[in-house]
Amino acid sequence: MNYVAIGVGGVIGAILRYLITDWFISFGSFFAIGILCVNAIGCFLFGYLQGLARAYEIPNWVVMGLGTGLIGAFTTFSTFSMEVIHYIEQGEIFRSFLYVMVSSIMGYFLVYLGFILTEPRKKGVDRHG
C-alpha cells in the first residue's frame, strides 16, 4: 500500500510543482521565484505533516503518500530541511551544521560539474533555436 500511495502522491506532487512554477513564469517572473515558493510551501507542509503524524495516529501509508510521494516530488528540499531539524532535536547541532554545509556545497558543486560536463556537447549547437 505504501508504494501505491507514494506513486500516486509523487505524480500529483510533480504535476503541482510544474503548474506552480509555470504559473509564476506566465506572469513574467523568473524561474527561481517559482521554485523558491515551491520549496517554501513544501517545507511548511512537510513539517506540518510530520507534526500531525506525531500528534495523531495517522496510518503510515497516508504519511508516506503525502510526505515521501506528494511533498517529496513537489520538493526534495522539504525532506532535507526535516532531516536538519531532526538532528537539532536530537541535540546534534554540529551534525546538523555539517549536514547543511556538506549538502549545500556538494549540491552546488555537482550541479556545476554536471553543467560544465555538457559544455563540449553544447559547442556548435544553436542555443537560440
Q: Which residue in the block uniquely carries the three cell numbers 549540491?
A: 107
pTM for the model: 0.71
**What angle, 0 to 180 degrees and rounded to 10, lies between the N-to-C axes of helices 2-26 and 31-55?**
150
Q: Does residue 25 share a domain with residue 82?
A: yes
What does the alpha-carbon distance between residue 92 and residue 96 come to, in Å, rounded to a whole number? 6
The pLDDT score that the predictor gives to residue 97 is 94
Q: Does residue 44 share a domain with residue 23?
A: yes
Q: Does residue 98 share a domain with residue 86?
A: no
Please give the tally of structural domains in the chain.
2
Residue 16: pLDDT band (50, 70, 90) is very high
Say what percent of the chain tops pLDDT 90: 45
Q: Does the structure show a pLDDT above 60 at 126?
A: no
Q: Does residue 30 share a domain with residue 78?
A: yes
Q: Does residue 35 share a domain with residue 7?
A: yes
Q: Does residue 68 share a domain with residue 26?
A: yes
Q: Find the angle CA(50)-CA(87)-CA(75) to the nearest 5 degrees.
A: 50
CB 9 within 8 A of CB 42: no
Which of 15-19, 23-27, 79-83, 113-117 has the highest mean predicted lDDT (pLDDT)? 15-19
CB 78 within 8 A of CB 45: yes
Contacts of 81 (CB under 8 A, 6+ apart): 43, 46, 47
CB 8 within 8 A of CB 71: no
Q: Calculate the average pLDDT of the chain.
A: 86
